[in-house]
Chain A
C-alpha cells in the first residue's frame, strides 16, 4: 500500500477490539502489529505511527519491537513468503542444497523477492519439526521432508497463484 495511506476503518475496529481484550495497552502491541501486517502485508512507518498513537507509545518504541521480531516485515514482501529452515537438524538432512536449489530456481538470494513479486525467500531458524527435516514454512503451511521435486512443485503452485 502507498506509504501515506492510513489504516482502514475495518482494521481500526479490529485493533480496538484487540486493545479492549488486552490487560494493558502496551500488551496489545504484538497482536496489533500482527493484525496490521495481516491486512496490509507489511508494516509502514505510517501504520506503526498510528499503532503508537492508539497504544499510547512512542513511534520509536513500536519500531523497536517491529525490528526485534523476525516475522515483521518493514518492506513489502512477495505475495507468498517461504521460510526455509537452516538449523542443525535440517542442515544435516540437506537444507543447504535445498537453499541453493530454491535460490537458483527463484533467481533470488535468501531474503529476496522474485521479480514478479510472487515469492519471498527467507531463512528460518529451527521450525521445531526436526524429525521430518528438511522443512520449510510456506505462508501458514509447514512442508516436511523436502526434496527437489517437492520444492519444484511448490514453487510452480505459488507462481501460478
Chain B
C-alpha cells in the first residue's frame, strides 16, 4: 500500500522548500479562504475535523485554540514548537526543511484564528540548516504579501520570527520553550496558569507543534468531514510515522492513524535486518513505555496505546532486535534524561541520575538483585511528582523495560556481567 500523503506532498519534489513549489502543489489557497471566515467557525471546523496535537500529547487543537480570550488587552502569541528532540522522532525536521511554507500557512491561519499578530518559531539550535530554510521562507512570504501588514488585503497583520535555541531538550516542553524565548533557562513553569491564560511575557499564548500546524491548511481546503473520515473516529487524519533503529527500511511514512504496528514494521519498514526478530519497540519517541514482540498487533493511535499504558507520542518508532541488550537500552535512555533534566525538581534531578547509575552497575556486572525493585521504586516516585513530564519520560520507559524484561536484569546480576556477546549496543555498517 502506498502512503496516504497529505502533508508529505513535498516528498521527491525538487526545490520543494521554495514558495513556487508550495503554490504549485496547492499551497496558500487555504489562507484567503480562512481570512474570510469567522474565527469561531475555524475553531469549530478544526474541532469537527478532530485534529489532535502531533507533538506528543494528542490534545485537540481546536479546543486549545478555543482557550484563548481573543479580546485580550494584552498581545496574543502563537509559538510554533520546532524544537524536535525526542529521541526516535525526526518528522518535524523534514517538514521544516522540505516544506516550510506549509507549516507557515498553518501558523498564519492559527494566528488569525486566535487574534495573534506575532508568532515565534522556536527551532532547536542543532538545526542550523532548517533555521536557514525557515528564514528564507519568511522572506518569501513577506515578499508575496502572506506576512506583514494587511495580509492579502484582509486587514490582518502578522509578523513571524525564527527563534533559535542553543541546545536543551527541555525547551520542547511548552513552558520551557517560553522561558527560553524570554531569555531564561528553559525551566518549565508550574501549571496552572496554562499558557493560554499566561504564556509568553505573561500574555495569552498557544504553542503548537510543526506537524499539527501543517495539517491546518488542508483541513481549511478540504473540510472537517474529509479529515475526520481518515483514521479512526477519535484519532482522525494521517500521521507521519517514523521508523528507525534495527529496521530494514528506516524513514518517514504518512499513513492513517490507527495502522497496526506490525504492518508498519513489516510492510513499510521491511522487517528487522539479518533475519533477526523484533524484541521490543519504542512506539512514540523515547518517553513512551516500550512494547514487546507480543504487542505488535496494537493500532498506532493515541487512544489504543494509552489504553495499554504506553503512548503514541510523536509516533517515532524505534525497533529493537533480539540481539540487543535491554539493560543497555534502559541505560542509554536514562543517560539521555539525566543529561537533559533541567534540575529544578529533586525527583527528576536525582532520580534520573540514580536510574542511570543503577542501570550502569547492573550492565557492568556490579548490580545486586535488590536493585531491580529499587529501580521500580525510584520510577514510581518520579512519576507525576514533578513540574513537567521529563521525569515521567525517563521513568516510564525504564519501568516498562524492567517489568517486561526483568529476566535480562536478573541474568546480568547472576552472571556478574552482560550476557550479550556484542561489545557494542548495535553494529554499524
List residues of chain A with CB under 8 Å of any chain B CB. Answer: 21, 23-24, 26-31, 33-34, 55, 64-65, 68-72, 83, 86-89, 91-98, 124-134, 137, 140-142, 145-148
Question: In the bound complex, do residue B429 and residue A94 qualify as a contact, i.e. CB atoms below 8 Å apart?
Answer: yes
* B84 close to A (CB within 8 Å): yes
Question: In the bound complex, do residue B332 and residue A91 qualify as a contact, i.e. CB atoms below 8 Å apart?
Answer: yes
* B329 close to A (CB within 8 Å): yes
Q: Which residues of B contact A31 (CB under 8 A)?
A: 163-164
Contact of B201 among A23, A29, A34 (CB under 8 A): A23
Question: In the bound complex, do residue B125 and residue A130 qualify as a contact, i.e. CB atoms below 8 Å apart?
Answer: no
Interface string of B37-80 (1 = CB under 8 A from A): 00000000000000000000000000000000000000000000
C-alpha gap A141/B128 in the complex (Å): 8
C-alpha gap A136/B145 in the complex (Å): 38
* B92 close to A (CB within 8 Å): yes
Q: Which residues of B contact A21 (CB under 8 A)?
A: 161
Q: Which residues of A contact B129 (CB under 8 A)?
A: 140-142
- Interface segment, B6-14, B180-188, B381-389? B180-188
Say which size band chain B's interface belongs to.
Answer: 35 or more
Q: Which residues of B contact A33 (CB under 8 A)?
A: 166
Q: Which residues of B contact A130 (CB under 8 A)?
A: 87-90, 242, 244-245, 250, 316, 318
Question: In the bound complex, do residue A133 and residue B166 qualify as a contact, i.e. CB atoms below 8 Å apart?
Answer: no
Q: Which residues of B contact A93 (CB under 8 A)?
A: 245-246, 426-428
Q: Which residues of A contact B427 (CB under 8 A)?
A: 93-94, 97
Question: In the bound complex, do residue B426 and residue A92 qualify as a contact, i.e. CB atoms below 8 Å apart?
Answer: yes
Pull 13 A–B residue pairs with CB atoms less than 8 Å apart, ordered by A: A26-B184, A27-B183, A29-B183, A30-B183, A71-B125, A93-B246, A94-B427, A94-B429, A130-B88, A130-B245, A130-B316, A131-B242, A146-B428
Question: In the bound complex, do residue A131 and residue B250 qualify as a contact, i.e. CB atoms below 8 Å apart?
Answer: yes
Q: Chain A's nearest CB lies how many Å from the CB of B313?
A: 13
Question: In the bound complex, do residue A69 and residue B183 qualify as a contact, i.e. CB atoms below 8 Å apart?
Answer: no
Q: Chain A's nearest CB lies how many Å from the CB of B129?
A: 7
Q: Which residues 61-119 of B sit at the A interface, judged by CB distance below 8 A?
A: 84-90, 92-93, 118
C-alpha gap A71/B286 in the complex (Å): 22
Q: Chain A's nearest CB lies how many Å from the CB of B234?
A: 28
Closest 10 pairs between A and B when the two form their complex, measured CB to CB:
A94-B428, A29-B183, A70-B167, A71-B167, A69-B166, A130-B244, A26-B183, A92-B426, A140-B128, A68-B185
* B425 close to A (CB within 8 Å): yes
Q: Which residues of A contact B332 (CB under 8 A)?
A: 86-88, 91
Question: In the bound complex, do residue A88 and residue B336 qualify as a contact, i.e. CB atoms below 8 Å apart?
Answer: yes
Q: Which residues of B contact A86 (CB under 8 A)?
A: 332, 335
Q: Contacts A126-B85, A131-B242 known; A69 to B181 CB distance under 8 Å?
A: no
Name B97's closest neighbour in chain A (CB-CB): A142
C-alpha gap A128/B288 in the complex (Å): 16
C-alpha gap A68/B246 in the complex (Å): 33
Contact of B183 among A65, A94, A97, A142 (CB under 8 A): A65
Contact of B166 among A23, A28, A72 (CB under 8 A): A72
Question: In the bound complex, do residue B426 and residue A94 qualify as a contact, i.e. CB atoms below 8 Å apart?
Answer: yes
For the A-B complex, the count of residue pairs with Cβ-Cβ distances under 8 Å equals 165
List residues of chain B with CB under 8 Å of any chain A CB. Answer: 84-90, 92-93, 118, 124-129, 161, 163-169, 180-186, 201, 242-246, 250-252, 282, 286, 316, 318, 320, 324, 328-329, 332-333, 335-336, 339-340, 342, 424-429
Name A101's closest neighbour in chain B (CB-CB): B428
C-alpha gap A34/B427 in the complex (Å): 36
Question: In the bound complex, do residue A91 and residue B242 qualify as a contact, i.e. CB atoms below 8 Å apart?
Answer: no
C-alpha gap A23/B159 in the complex (Å): 12
C-alpha gap A33/B165 in the complex (Å): 11
Contact of B425 among A24, A26, A96, A126 (CB under 8 A): A96
C-alpha gap A33/B167 in the complex (Å): 13
Q: Chain A's nearest CB lies how many Å from the CB of B205?
A: 12
Question: In the bound complex, do residue A131 and residue B429 qualify as a contact, i.e. CB atoms below 8 Å apart?
Answer: no
Name A137's closest neighbour in chain B (CB-CB): B126
Most chain A CB inside 10 Å of its own CB: which residue of B183, B201, B251, B324: B183
Q: Which residues of A contact B339 (CB under 8 A)?
A: 125
Name B181's closest neighbour in chain A (CB-CB): A27
Q: Contacts A64-B185, A69-B166, A128-B126 known; A92 to B246 CB distance under 8 Å?
A: yes
Question: In the bound complex, do residue B340 and residue A69 qualify as a contact, i.e. CB atoms below 8 Å apart?
Answer: no
Question: In the bound complex, do residue B182 and residue A27 qualify as a contact, i.e. CB atoms below 8 Å apart?
Answer: yes
Question: In the bound complex, do residue B180 and residue A30 qualify as a contact, i.e. CB atoms below 8 Å apart?
Answer: yes
Q: Chain A's nearest CB lies how many Å from the CB of B365?
A: 18
Q: Which residues of A contact B243 (CB under 8 A)?
A: 131
Q: Which residues of B contact A65 (CB under 8 A)?
A: 183-185
Question: In the bound complex, do residue B93 and residue A34 qualify as a contact, i.e. CB atoms below 8 Å apart?
Answer: no
Q: Which residues of B contact A68 (CB under 8 A)?
A: 168, 185-186, 342
C-alpha gap A39/B21 in the complex (Å): 35
Q: Which residues of B contact A27 (CB under 8 A)?
A: 181-183, 201
Name A135's closest neighbour in chain B (CB-CB): B90
Q: Which residues of B contact A30 (CB under 8 A)?
A: 163-166, 180, 183
Q: Which residues of B contact A132 (CB under 8 A)?
A: 250
